[in-house]
Amino acid sequence: MGTTVLGACDPIASISRVCREFGAWLHVDGSWGGPHALFGDDPAFSVHNIHIDSFVVNPHKLLGVPLQCSFLIMRQGLNVMRRALGLGATYLFHDEQVCGESDVPCDVGDATLGCGRRPDAIKFWLMWRYYGTQYFTNRVALARNTSLRLAELVRTRTSLLGRWVLVTEPASTCVCFWFVPCALNDKRSEWGGATRRMCTHINDGGSMLLDYATVDVFDGTNTCTLPEFFRIPINNPSVSSATLNDVLNAIESAAAELYP
């Protein structure tokens, strides 16, 4: 949910039906895109009425919670984790210490992947208590709208220095595109090298930091690796239309210097 490069989402409902049919465990990696399911309204990311066994989300990404903040949420609670991971380290964990009238141990360390990790939840809990659910809902919606605005700028922008090409329509909040200098218009094999050169040139300038990525795609017959492209993940609510134009202007300026 929210793939690393393109931000796409797998058809979780269909996958869930297959998992239920064959008794397979369904884990959803929502590290980046999970907030779209928790606070967004995009049907592609909806997990309502879908059987999921475990779910990961990193609020330190799209929701802006301070690093590090990551959750593994289990349908069956911590008991399944305790059975799978518990080491029975009695010098640390004492099951007789239960919470009130519950039979659940207060110390959940024996049911976690790393019992020495800091309590990530407190940061998210404090933000949620202070800002409320609507804040996160608005933040996710703003990031999505900003990504669509950037995609529209790339799609409609014209330049005497080259052309702008979207890799694909953004599925969530990652916008991926090329700027192809005129000299390389018919040399697709060199687009990736040009992207890397422009990124390095811009980053060395110190005014902003941009990154690039690539991905393997399947065309129905073969798998191929796309030339490296600019990848802009939208997260910060302070990003404005002026910011987006500054990024595109910087790319054009780099192209003008590198490919005169």
pLDDT tens string, the chain, 260 residues long: the values are: 888 899 989 999 999 999 999 999 999 999 988 999 888 888 878 888 889 999 999 999 999 999 999 988 888 877 788 788 777 777 777 665 555 555 666 667 777 777 666 778 889 999 999 999 999 999 999 999 999 999 999 999 999 999 999 999 999 999 999 999 999 999 999 999 999 999 999 999 999 999 999 999 888 889 999 999 999 999 999 999 999 999 999 999 999 999 98
Q: Are 177 and 212 in contact (CB under 8 A)?
A: no
Helix, coil or strand: residue 101: coil
* Nearest of 228, 155, 166 to residue 191 by alpha carbon: 228
> At how many degrees (to 10) do helices 191-205 and 241-258 cross?
110
Angstrom distance (rounded) from CA 74 to CA 245: 42
Reported as a single tens digit per residue, the pLDDT across 58-87 is 999 999 999 999 988 888 877 788 788 777
Domains for the chain: give ranges and CATH numbers.
12-135 (3.40.640.10), 141-258 (3.90.1150.170)
Angstrom distance (rounded) from CA 30 to CA 224: 26
Distance of CA 251 to the CA centre of its chain: 23
Angstrom distance (rounded) from CA 143 to CA 173: 6
One-letter amino acid at 242 equals: A
CA triple 92-112-60, angle to 5 deg: 125
Other residues' Cβ atoms within 10 Å of the Cβ of residue 212: 17
Length of the chain measured in residues: 260
The model carries a pTM of: 0.86
Give the helix/strand (H/E) hosting 206.
none
The half-sphere exposure of 62 on its side-chain side, counting CA atoms within 13 A, is: 33
Residue given tokens 């500054």 in the structure block: 246
- Phi, psi angle pair for 212, to nearest 5°: -130, 165
Angstrom distance (rounded) from CA 58 to CA 35: 8
Q: What's the DSSP call for residue 98?
A: B
Helix, coil or strand: residue 221: coil
Q: Which residues are 105's β-sheet partners?
A: 98
